[in-house]
Chain A
Amino acid sequence: MRNLWLITKREYIGRMKSGAYITSTIVLMVVFFGSTILPSLFDSSSKSKPLDVTVVDKTGQVFGPLQEALTLLPAEEAKRPVNLTLATEDEATLMPRVKEGDFALLVVEGSFPGGLKAKFMAAHLSALTDSYLVMTPLQNMVRSARMQERGLAPEVAIEIMQPLDVEEVQVTSGDTERSQDQFMGTLLLAMSAIMSIYMITMINSQFVFQGILEEKVSRVVEVMAAAVRPVEMMAGKVLGLGALGLTQYAGMMVAWVAGNAISREMIDVPQQSLSWDVALLIMVFILLSYVLNATLMAALAATVSRMEDSQTVQTPVIMLMMLPMFLFTPVMNDPNSTLAVVLSFIPIFTPIVMLMRVILGEVAAWQVWVSVGLLVVTTGLVSWASGRIYRAALLSFGSRPTMKQLWGYLKMG
């Protein structure tokens, strides 16, 4: 146990001090912080500025009523003030300034209201995104005028134009209901959970592979094999580098949460709060998924002795890890379909598929327990087999192994 602790500590602290690790952690933290804070910075800078729109009104009938209609836009939809100006020059003269981004241009022509044509032009994407602030009142105004032309009283026309109160709700077997907005929040939560499992598993397993290969390339492996048991060497690497990856991940999460706290208004969909049982399940899956893949990578790393062989050996395992990502859409569409249920019981897919089913739909508790149980047994078996291969292959130097050799190592170890 003492040696296991010494190895774990060396792996953790040794790499923690390396320039590559510090740099990658800082870069990742900046990326995560920036990815949350930057859009909201742009957003808030464009929000505070009013949208300047110059109107070329070739009909001579639109500008006045449009100004009036703008004031009728409900406050919750009017996210940015709009300055409407009537153009005194023609479209061609104004165009260079539109291209410069000085203002957006709205050209209305044809006969009002029956044959009206409108064109909104702007240089900036933010102005185009916000064009609805002008175009929706314009449409409402034109429709209302058309109705009045057919003899409807203005107040009746306005009443007809009132939007419907529509709600889309996901029902579950419990008392809870999820609105579409909430469903988006849940989906975001599911994706974050899955990305967490992926990042921790993939990045850290790579660390384990690299670490063991480095020991083989530098031949320090024989000194270690003469001092400690192979299982301690492997477990120390898996634990130390796992903790290292978790530290990096925690750093990214701190940056992400800090970024989000600063720009809280950025995400319009309600943040779905994480229940304790789901949070626990995510932790269990992260842990098991990491141990499963890391021990497999450790065994494979022990069988190669040259850096150039590492890609060939790792690719099949990485492909296998990637596979559940392609199942995201079918499982999301129907978390209780036969495909989703079957996949959630196959241990290598369990962390991703079962987690998606639990977050997005309703899963009977026994199914979760059985899938976790199967994953625990598989992880145990893979760790045991990896330990044997690791022990037998540790001092093999030469060409990369064939399947037959791997089987031989498994029997020998």
Chain B
Amino acid sequence: MSLEVQGVSKSFGPVRAVQDVSFTVPDGRVCGLLGSNGAGKTTTMRMIMRIFLPDEGEIRWMGNPVMDQVRQGFGYLPEERGLYPKMQVREQLVYLTQLKGLSLEDARERVDLWIDRLELGEYALRRVEQLSKGNQQKVQFAAAAASRPSLCILDEPFTGLDPVNTLVMERAFRTLAGEGTTILFSSHNMDQVEALCDDVVLIHRSHLVLSGSLREVKKAARRQTVKLRLESGDYGFLNRIAGIVTRRGQAGEMEISVPTGLEPSQILRAAMDVSTVVQYSLGEPSLREIYLEKVGGAGA
């Protein structure tokens, strides 16, 4: 039982925003929806939320087509943030939660819980327009999460947050997932997606490129990554090896994507010829590498 997107397409006039996209998000899992700007992520999410109806294809939740009644159980954080600016934070959250079918008492209880989790207590009685952008975003997240949704669609929930608020939101995100909510969220931060997701879906230029669990996707890439650190710090020799892609790692080491057909040990031998090797390790490709490979550096 899960979210099933089956052969969905959507056009706006001559623009084909989404073409024949199919994927499944199993119940209780966290799925990252990846793709470059304009790939069709937001349109896909809006179709799941029934804001747009697909021209073709079908979207099902727990085996049932997503109709208004089914959608009542979904939470949504849109890419274009929006709240009633003149309304108080708590009053607004209670209203939006009630619209999802909760009673007034239930809505108040859930809203207070999420206000607490997102550290919004001191702003609860302020008007939304008096809050900083970061805090407004946390209110928006609370609006999506407070109704105890079975499925939560979050369109770039971490964009524009400072490091402290990012941590608060990530914690709230994990809490929401821990409560058993199925989450589909989009982000351009690959490290974050890798840290938070069980599954990934990649859309490029309106088409589905890959989907599946993170482990399966990495396995399917069948490529390896070498992490190399040399005493001399001179990595010029790598330019002489055809087909490899390099990237400077966070600790100053060089991350090398090894192309198929090349043995990682060849890189080690070449390195030992030019300098003392301080670090050498062999690992799976990162999500970022897989993404760049599938989408192409220019389009990302």
Q: Which residues of A contact B (CB under 8 A)?
A: 2-3, 6-7, 10, 14, 18, 215, 218-229, 395
CB atoms of A223 and B68 under 8 A apart? no
Contact B50 A226 (CB under 8 A): yes
Q: Which of B51, B84, B85, B101 contacts A222 (CB 8 A)?
A: B51
Chain B residues with Cβ below 8 Å from A228 are 99
Complex alpha-carbon distance, A395 and B98, angstroms: 23
Also in contact, A227 and B80, with CB within 8 A (given A14-B87, A222-B51): no
Q: Does B161 have its Cβ within 8 Å of any Cβ on chain A?
A: no
B96 touches A (CB below 8 Å): yes
A233 to B51, CA, bound (A): 13
What residues on A are CB-neighbors of B81 within 8 Å? 219
Of A6, A18, A215, A221, the residue contacting B98 (CB under 8 A) is: A6
Closest to B97 in A: A227
Q: Top 4 nearest A-B pairs by Cβ distance?
A: A219-B82, A220-B82, A226-B76, A222-B78
Please count how many residues in chain B sit with their CB below 8 Å of the partner chain's CB atoms: 26
Tell me if B90 is interfacial: C-beta within 8 Å of chain A: no
B84 and A6 form a contact (CB under 8 A): no
Q: Interface readout for B67-95 with A: 1 if CB under 8 Å, 0 if not? A: 01001001010101111111100000001
Shortest Cβ distance from B99 into A: residue: A227
Whether B82 and A222, one on each chain, are in contact in the complex, defined by CB atoms closer than 8 angstroms, is: yes
Dominant secondary structure of chain B at its interface with chain A: loop
B95 touches A223 (CB 8 A): no
Contacts A228-B99, A395-B46 supplied; 17 other A-B pairs, CB < 8 Å: A218-B82, A219-B82, A220-B83, A220-B84, A222-B80, A223-B82, A223-B96, A223-B140, A223-B143, A224-B99, A225-B49, A226-B49, A226-B74, A226-B76, A226-B78, A227-B100, A229-B68
User: Which residues of chain B have C-beta atoms less than 8 A from A225's C-beta?
Assistant: 49, 51
Q: Measured between C-beta atoms, what is the minimum distance from A407 to chain B in Å?
A: 13
Of the residues B50, B74, B76, B98, contact of A223 by C-beta under 8 Å: B76
Query: Which of A2, A7, A10 has the most CB atoms of chain B within a 10 A radius of its CB?
Result: A10
From 270 to 287 in chain B, residues with beta carbon under 8 angstroms from any chain A beta carbon are: none
Query: What is the bound-complex CA distance between A394 and B157, given in angstroms?
Result: 23
Q: How far is the CB of A8 from chain B (nearest CB, A)?
A: 12
Instruction: State whether B82 touches A227 (Cβ < 8 A).
Output: no
A-B contact pairs, 30 of them (CB 8 A): A6-B95, A7-B99, A14-B84, A14-B86, A18-B86, A215-B82, A218-B82, A218-B83, A219-B78, A219-B80, A220-B83, A220-B84, A222-B51, A222-B78, A222-B80, A223-B76, A223-B78, A223-B96, A223-B140, A225-B49, A225-B51, A226-B71, A226-B74, A226-B76, A226-B78, A227-B76, A227-B96, A228-B99, A395-B46, A395-B51
Interface residues of B (CB under 8 A from A): 46, 49-52, 68, 71, 74, 76, 78, 80-87, 95-96, 98-101, 140, 143
Taking a contact as CB atoms under 8 Å apart, the answer to whether B83 and A3 are in contact is: no
**Smallest CB-CB separation from B71: which chain A residue?**
A226
A10 near B78 with CB under 8 A, answer no
**A227-B96, A227-B100 known; A218-B50 Cβ under 8 A:** no
Please give the distance in Å from A232's CB to the nearest CB on chain B: 9
By beta carbon, the residue of chain A nearest B52 is A395
- The answer to whether B51 and A226 have CB atoms under 8 Å apart is yes
Give the chain A neighbours of B86 by CB distance below 8 A. 14, 18
Give the complex CA separation of A365 and B120 in angstroms.
63
Q: Is the CB of B85 within 8 A of A218?
A: yes
Complex Cα distance, B80 from A7, in Å, reads: 22
User: Are B49 and A10 in touch, CB under 8 angstroms?
Assistant: no
A6–B140 Cα distance when bound, in Å, is: 20
CB-CB under 8 A from A215, the residues of chain B are: 82, 84
**CA A74 – CA B49 in complex, angstroms?**
82
For A18, A220, A229, the residue with the greatest tally of chain B CB atoms inside 10 Å of its CB is A220
Distance between Cα atoms of A17 and B16 in the complex (Å): 45
Chain B positions within 8 Å of A223 at CB level: 76, 78, 82-83, 96, 140, 143
Residue in contact with A221 in the complex, picked from B82, B85, B143, CB distance below 8 Å: B82
Complex: chain A residue closest to B50, CB-CB: A226
A76 to chain B, nearest CB (A): 59
Q: A215 CA to B92 CA in the complex, in Å?
A: 14
**Known interface pairs A14-B87, A223-B143, A225-B51. Does A6 touch B80 (Cβ–Cβ under 8 Å)?**
no
User: Nearest CB to that of A395 among chain B residues?
Assistant: B51
Question: Which chain A residue shows the least CB distance to B87?
Answer: A14
Contacts of B76 in A (CB 8 A): 223, 226-227
B74 cross-chain contacts in A, Cβ below 8 A: 226
- Residues of A with C-beta under 8 A to B50: 226
Q: How far, in angstroms, from A6 to B86 measured CA to CA in the complex? A: 17
CB of B11, distance to nearest CB on chain A (Å)? 11
Chain A residues positioned under 8 Å from B78 (CB to CB): 219, 222-223, 226
A6, B50: Cα distance in complex, Å: 21
Q: B residues within 8 A CB of A224?
A: 99
Point out which of B87, B99, B101 has the most chain A C-beta atoms below 10 A from its C-beta: B99
Q: Is the CB of B82 within 8 A of A3?
A: no
When distances are taken between beta carbons in the complex, the residues of chain B under 8 Å from A222 are: 51, 78, 80, 82
Q: Which residue on chain B has the smallest CB distance to residue A223?
A: B82
Residue of A3, A6, A14, A227 with most chain B CB atoms under a 10 A cut-off: A227
